[in-house]
Amino acid sequence: MTPDRNNNMTQLNYLEPGLIDYRECWDRQEELLEQLVRNRSVNKTPTAENYFLLVEHPHVYTLGKSGDPGNMLITEEYLKKIGATFYRINRGGDITYHGPGQLVGYLIMDLEYFHIGIREFIWKMEEAIIETIGAFGLEGARREGATGVWLDVNDPVLVRKICAIGVRVSHFVTMHGFALNVNTDLNYFHYINPCGFTSSAVTSLQKELGREVEMEEVRTILKEKFNRNY
């Protein structure tokens, strides 16, 4: 994976390997995090070497360190039947699904370098996603008491989630990130309580717009919005 550097961008190095196994990508995140932490320690200063992985995954469910295993609604045997895997991981948040047609972004960033704390980091991530789906005519918003980006947030019946967020911070360096549903097979969410919510629907750009959306178009817009927000 070769970083994509652009003079018009911020100090984020983009890595875009396409469809990649979740475990392989998780290991890559850990390697990059350790690299940044080591650089901080050696140089005694925040590091400008920050990374942004934009990927898709085969069908997989991940459960955050404080998540409730009861939010996985199917057995290991049924997981195999639907061609999915399951991991307990070290991010915050509860359970979520990743799969083809979903744009997943992992930010390995030194928060001190960007002069922000974790709350502002997540706020900026949400803002970039809100602006991204706004480019497609959708009005996204934050929901009180929950991370991520939602539609019709003020309507308890119609509210639905289009982007999940879960992160981890170690020595001021972040990992994990967001999962934006683009052309995602939403049936896979039926097997979990997404992010621990038992009554909230999940949606995608494709479902909202009534058409398949070009993933490259979403990636291009999303990178521009993230570059502007960080």
Of 223, 229, 230, 217, nearest to 5 by C-alpha is 223
The C-alpha atoms of residue 212 and residue 184 are separated, in whole angstroms, by 10
Contact predicate 195/161, CB 8 Å: yes
Using left for φ > 0, alpha for ψ between -120 and 50, and beta otherwise, residue 178 falls in: beta
Beta strand spans in the chain (E): 12-19, 50-56, 60-63, 85-88, 95-98, 102-108, 140-143, 146-151, 160-170, 173-181, 201-202
The C-alpha atoms of residue 14 and residue 155 are separated, in whole angstroms, by 36
Q: Is 163 a catalytic residue?
A: no
Of 103, 98, 230, nearest to 174 by C-alpha is 230
Q: Residues 128, 195, 202, 215: which is the catalytic one?
A: 195
Taking the CB of residue 24, how many other CB atoms lie within 10 A of it?
A: 12
Residues labelled as active-site residues: 195
